[in-house]
Amino acid sequence: MPLAYLGLGSNIGNRIGYIRRSLVALSRLPKTKVTKVSSLYETEPYGKKEQPWFINIVVEVSTELSPLELFKKCKSIENKLGRQKREKWAEREIDIDILLYDEIIFSTPELQIPHPDMHNRRFVLIPLSEIAPNIIHPVFKKSVSELLIECKDTTKIIHIPEKIDLKNIIEPEVKEIRYIAIEGVIGAGKTSLAKLLGERLNAKVVLEQYYENPFLEKFYENRERYAFQTQIFFLLSRYKQQMELHQIDLFHEYLITDYIFDKDKIFAHINLKGDELKLYEMLVGMLEKNIPVPDLVIYLQSSVERLMQNIRKRGRPYEKNISEDYIRELYEAYNEFFFNQYRKSPVLVINVTEIDFVNNRDDFEDLVNEILSPRKSYFEYYNPGKK
C-alpha cells in the first residue's frame, strides 16, 4: 500500500492529549494503518510568534485511501476533535497536514502534495527525519536529511523524552450501549438531558439526590470549612445509589444516570487537601471496586459564561454563592479528567454552549441521533453548534 507522512500539531489545551486522540482516529480510518510515529517535539510557533508553543509529531501511515480521500478524513478528524476556524497561522486545537504521499506530486485548490512549505519548517523535517531520513522529496529530489541540513528555519525545537507507543493507540471495541451516564460541570444540563432522554427512550432514569446533602449550602458559603463533610456525604450516598444499579430492570431497555461515581474524585481533588484528601482516597479506593461501569459516558461541555448563566437562571437558593472562579476551576478539572484520564467507558463529548436542547426540539433530536449512532471510537467529540 502507498505510504503517506502526516504532520500533527497542537498548541491549545492538553496538546499531547489532542495528538493522542488524533492518532486513535487515524488508526481507525478505513484501509489505513499507522506504521510509525516520531518522538514528540515542543516547537516555537512558525509564522505568528505571539501564541503558545506547539507539540508536533510526524506519522507514517500505510493507506489505500487516495490523497484527496485521506485529506478529507484528516479534516473530519480535526472537526470532530473540536478545531475552531481562525485566521491563518493562529493557534489551533489540532492540525493534521499531509506532507508526502508516496512519490506523488498532486495539486488542487484545497490540497498540495508534497506540502508546499515542508522544506522550510524544522518542526516538520526533524520528526520526519527521525522516522524516514532517506525518503526523497519528489520535487527537490533530495532526501529529508539533506533538506534538514539546508533548511534556514531558526525556530527553536525541543525534543520531549516521552514517546507514544503504537500498541496503546488502538483502543478496545465499543460494546452495545444500555447504560448511559451523563456528566458535566454544574449548570451544563446533565439532569435535564437525563430526564428528556429517559422519556424519549423509555429508560429507567436514576438521578443524583444532591439536595439531600445537609452540608451543601454551607459548603458554598465556606468551602474550606465544610469541604470534607460535604465530600464524604456525597461519596457514601453516591456509593449506595450506584450499588442499587446492579438490580436489573427488565421493563426498560436503557438505564440513564445524571452522574458517574468517578466524578466524586474530581471534586475531592479540588476541595480537599492534606490528611483529609489521604483519608478520602483510602475510602474511595475500597468503595469503587464494585461500582457498575457505564456503556457510554456523555460529557456535556459548555463555556464558563454559559454555565454561570444557567446557574443564575434556575435560581436554586443554595447555589447563589457559587463563584465564577469555582466554576472555572471545575470546568478545567472536568476537561482534564474526561479528555486525558477517564478510560473505563467510551466518552462522547458534546459541546452544548450554543444549543438549547431543553427548549428546542430540533436541538434535542439532533443530540438523540448522535447519542444513538454507532460509536466508532472510545473518545468522540461532537460540536452541534458548529455543524
Phi-psi region of 382 (alpha: psi -120 to 50; beta: other; left: phi over 0): beta
SS3 per residue for the chain: CCEEEEEEEECCCCHHHHHHHHHHHHHCCCCEEEEEECCEEEECCCCCCCCCCEEEEEEEEEECCCHHHHHHHHHHHHHHCCCCCCCCCCCCCCEEEEEEECCCCEECCCCEECCCCHHHCHHHHHHHHHHCCCCECCCCCCEHHHHHHHCCCCCCEEEECCCCCHHHCCCCCCCCCCEEEEEECCCCCHHHHHHHHHHHHCCEEECCCHHHCCCHHHHHHCHHHHHHHHHHHHHHHHHHHHHHCCCCCCCCCCEEECCCCCHHHHHHHHHCCHHHHHHHHHHHHHHHHHCCCCCEEEEEECCHHHHHHHHHHHCCHHHCCCCHHHHHHHHHHHHHHHHHCCCCCCEEEEECCCCCCCCCHHHHHHHHHHHHCCCCCCEEEECHHHC
Mark whether 258 is an active-site residue: yes
Exactly one of 95, 258, 262, 295 is catalytic; name it. Answer: 258
**Active-site residue list:** 258
